[in-house]
Amino acid sequence: MRYLLRRLAFFVLTLWAAMTVNFALPRLMPGDPASAMMARFHGRVNPEAIHALEVAFGVDTHQSLWAQYGSYLGNTATGNFGISLTYFPLPVSTEIAQALPWTLGLIGVATVMAFLAGTFIGTVSGWRRGGVVDSVVPPVFVVTSALPYFWVGMVLILLFSVMTNGLLPNDGAYDITMTPSLTPAFIGNVVQHAILPAATILITSIGGWILTMRNNMVTVLAEDYVRMGRAKGLSNRRIMYQYAARNALLPNLTGFAMSLGFVVSGAILVEYVFNYPGLGYMLLNAVNNLDYPLMQALFLMITVAVLVAVLLCDFVTALLDPRTRGA
């Protein structure tokens, strides 16, 4: 329990530090959103309008830094991230709320699948070290994990969309002629659109999980307690999962938490290649358009997501590894 409380306190502290950095960074940069906005309208804005914009964006430079900091913390806590420049005059929070489900659905599911499948394949190939699975699967996936995301994406589009007369869609999250609803037809359409980008992520990220899990397994299998399991006459299945894989999994949890955290940033290149309306695509647009409020909100979300994922990982580790609990 003390362990969890300590992790929680650490989480709050890191979150505060991240928010502060997020507050300071744009203010250290030259220019501000209001001037950027004015530049977009080629200076055809009167001073009152600029002031109104400054207030809207929360960059009212007439306030003291402390007052700005205070209202920033308050706004962030209430989810008020200001107005987007790219999608003016929509609030940033509305924009993010629209893109978030797509990224969580696509990248999140693909990341979890890659971890689960990679861990399973790694377990089996480590257990049957030198067997058929072990000699073929890890080398193949090591090669695929070294390929760039966007290149795999383009090859998949070429193979399954262009050369096969649009067997699978390669653009967007759903057919834009359909109205989003919870009908089987629409859900099927969404899944169809997700196949290629999800496959891209799977192909490029599964290799890492296979390789690390396999190596952890090989190390753990040399441990005395595995031999002990055999000496006790336990079934191979039980030794493989309860004795070997159960222990081999622990070092991979942190890496998994990190990759879960980065789900929120979206696989920018994958979303870009597939025109997927997720957060990664949005982040790219925000940077291109100098959309500071949107960027700031996205950066903060990425940070928070990583922190939450690491916190969750700490909890899960405590659950799975009794040795961490006492500390």
Partner 1 sequence: MPDAPVLEVRGLTVEYLTDAGPVRAVERFDLDILPGEFVGVVGESGCGKSTMLFGIAQLLSPPARVSEGSVRFRGHDLVTMTDRQLATTRWRDLSVVMQSAMNALNPVAQLGDQFADAMRAHGERSRATIRQRAEEVLALVGIDLVHLKSYPHQLSGGMRQRAMIAMALLFNPDLVIMDEPTSALDVVAQRSLMLQVKQLQQQLGFAVLFVTHDMSLVSHFSDRLVVMYAAKAVEIGSTKEIFANPGHPYTEGLLDAFPSIRGPRLPLTGIPGSPPNLLHPPVGCRFAPRCPKRFEMCDVEPPFYDAGTSRAACHLHALADKKVVQ
Binding site for partner 1 (CB under 8 A): 221-225, 227-236, 238, 242-243, 246-247, 250, 320-323, 326
Q: What angle do helix axes 92-103 and 292-320 make, rounded to 10 degrees? A: 40
At its nearest, how many Å lie between partner 1 and the CB of residue 133? 17
At its nearest, how many Å lie between partner 1 and the CB of residue 227? 5
At its nearest, how many Å lie between partner 1 and the CB of residue 261? 25
Residue 165: left (phi > 0), alpha (psi -120 to 50), or beta? left
C-alpha closest to that of 170 among 148, 188, 186, 155? 155
At its nearest, how many Å lie between partner 1 and the CB of residue 323? 5
Indicate the residue among 94 and 236 with the shorter CB distance to partner 1.
236
At its nearest, how many Å lie between partner 1 and the CB of residue 215? 17
Cβ atoms within 10 A of the Cβ of 44, count? Answer: 7
Residue 274, classed as helix, strand or coil, is: coil
C-alpha closest to that of 160 among 199, 203, 118? 199
Residue 91, classed as helix, strand or coil, is: strand
C-alpha closest to that of 99 among 295, 312, 310, 264? 264
At its nearest, how many Å lie between partner 1 and the CB of residue 112? 22
Indicate the residue among 243 and 256 with the shorter CB distance to partner 1.
243
C-alpha closest to that of 96 among 277, 303, 257, 261? 277
Indicate the residue among 213 and 307 with the shorter CB distance to partner 1.
213
- Please, are residues 86 and 284 in contact by the beta-carbon 8 Å criterion? no
Indicate the residue among 41 and 225 with the shorter CB distance to partner 1.
225
Indicate the residue among 131 and 139 with the shorter CB distance to partner 1.
131
Indicate the residue among 205 and 247 with the shorter CB distance to partner 1.
247
d(CA 71, CA 190): 40
Cα within 13 Å of Cα(295), Cβ side: 16
